[in-house]
Amino acid sequence: MAQPLDLYLAAPRGFCAGVDRAIKIVEMALEKWGAPVYVRHEIVHNRFVVDGLRDKGAVFVDELEECPTDRPVIFSAHGVPKSVPIEAEGRNMLYVDATCPLVSKVHIEAARHYENGLQMVMIGHRGHPEVIGTMGQLPEGEVILVETPADVAEISPRDPSKLAYITQTTLSVDDTAEIVETLQARFPQIIGPHKEDICYATTNRQAAVKAMASKIDALLVIGAPNSSNSRRLVEVGSREGCSYSQLVQRAADIDWRALDGIRSVGITAGASAPEVLVEEVIAAFRERYDVTEKLVETAKEDVEFKVPRVLRQQVSA
C-alpha cells in the first residue's frame, strides 16, 4: 500500500498576466513574420518555455548586436534600459517590447521623479535584468541601488531632501517592507509609491505560501534558478517554518529521499512556470503516494494585458 500524502496546491500559482502576454507576443510574432524571430534575453525565466519557443523558431540572444537588422526582435518581459530601443531604432530594426506593463509602470514612475528633480533609490537585486532595465531608464548616477537594510546606511544621495524610492516587482514583500522602513527612518522626506512596486502576482503567490505553511512539512516551488519571484517563494516557505523548501524545475528534480517520511507537501509555481510542469509534479507524487489534493486559495486573479497593437492587427485581419 502506498503511503498517504496530503498535497496542498497553492492558488494563485504559476503564470501571471505579464508572462502570459510576453509568451503570446513571441508566438504571435512568429505567426505574423515567420521564423526566425529574435528575442533579447529569455522571454521569461523558464527553460521549458524558452525551449518550446525555440522549437517554433525563436532565437534567443543576450544582446541586440547579435541580431540581424532584417528580422524582428522582441524585448523580454523584464524590461530593457532606454539605450536598447534607441539602438534598435538607430539600426532601423523592427522591435516589439514585451516588457510587462507593471514593470513599465515603474519605468514611468522613475522618469516622473527624475523630471521633478528627485534622485532615486531602487530596492532590488543587483544584476537582475529588471533592475538593469529600470536603472537604465535614467542617466548614470540618478538611481542608487540598495539590496538590504544595511545598504541604506551606506548610501550618500546628492540631496537627502530630494529623494524617491522605487522597487523591483518580484521582491519579498516582508524584506522590502523592512528596507522601506529603514529608508524612511534615515530619509524622512523620501517619496515612494503607495506601498511598493511589488506586483499583484508576486504578492498573491507569497500570500498563498504563507497560508499553507502551517499545514505542510515540505514546500516545492516549481521554477527556474534565475527566476527572482520563484526564489522568493522558496524563502517564504523556509521563513514560515517549512523545514524543507526547495526549487524544482520539473518532476525529475525532486529529491524523493529528502521527502522520506513526510505526510504533507505544498506545491506552488513561480510566475514564469507553466502549469504543465505543476501537473507533471502532481503526477509524480501520485505514482509514489496515496495522494489527497487540497487547494489553498487566497485570491482570485483576473488580470489580463493586451498584446501590442502591431500584433493585434494581425489577429483581426
Binding site for ligand 10D (CB under 6 A): 18-19, 44-45, 77-78, 100, 103, 130, 169-170, 227-230, 270-272
User: Contact with ligand SF4 (CB under 6 A): which of 10, 17, 131, 190?
Assistant: 17
Do 264 and 6 meet the contact criterion of CB atoms below 8 Å apart? Answer: yes
SS3 annotation, 140-169: CCCEEEECCHHHHHHCCCCCCCCEEEEECC
When the beta carbons of 179 and 271 are compared against ligand 10D, the nearer one is: 271
Q: How many whole angstroms separate alpha carbon 203 and alpha carbon 211?
A: 12
Which residue of this chain has its Cβ atom nearest to ligand 10D in the complex? Answer: 227
- Which of 64-72, 95-103, 215-223, 252-260 is the region at the interface with ligand SF4 (rule: CB under 6 A)? 95-103
SS3 at position 72 = coil
Please report whether residue 201 would count as binding ligand SF4 according to CB under 6 A: yes
Would you say 105 and 71 are in contact if contact means Cβ atoms under 8 Å apart? no
User: Least separation, in Å, of the C-beta of 267 and ligand SF4?
Assistant: 19
- How far separated are the first and last CA of the chain, in Å rounded? 58
Q: Known catalytic residue: 130?
A: yes
Rounded Cα–Cα distance for residues 146 and 183 (Å): 10
Q: Which of 16, 64, 120, 145 binds ligand SF4 (CB under 6 A)?
A: 16
Give the footprint of ligand SF4 on residues 60-79 (CB under 6 A).
77
Q: Looking only at residues 179 through 198 of this chain, which bind ligand SF4 when binding is defined by CB under 6 A?
A: none
- 58's contact among ligand 10D, ligand SF4, none, with CB below 5 to 8 A by partner kind, is none
| 117: exposed, middle or buried (Cβ count in 10 Å: 0-12, 13-18, 19+) | exposed
Distance from C-alpha of 66 to C-alpha of 313, rounded to nearest angstrom? 28
Residue in the structure block whose three cell numbers are 512556470: 273
Q: Could you say which of 27, 42, 130, 196 is catalytic? A: 130
Please identify which residue in 5, 10, 73, 103 interacts with ligand SF4, judged by CB under 6 A.
Answer: 103
The binding site for ligand SF4 (CB under 6 A) comprises 16-19, 77, 100, 102-103, 169-170, 199, 201-202, 229, 271
| Residues labelled catalytic | 130
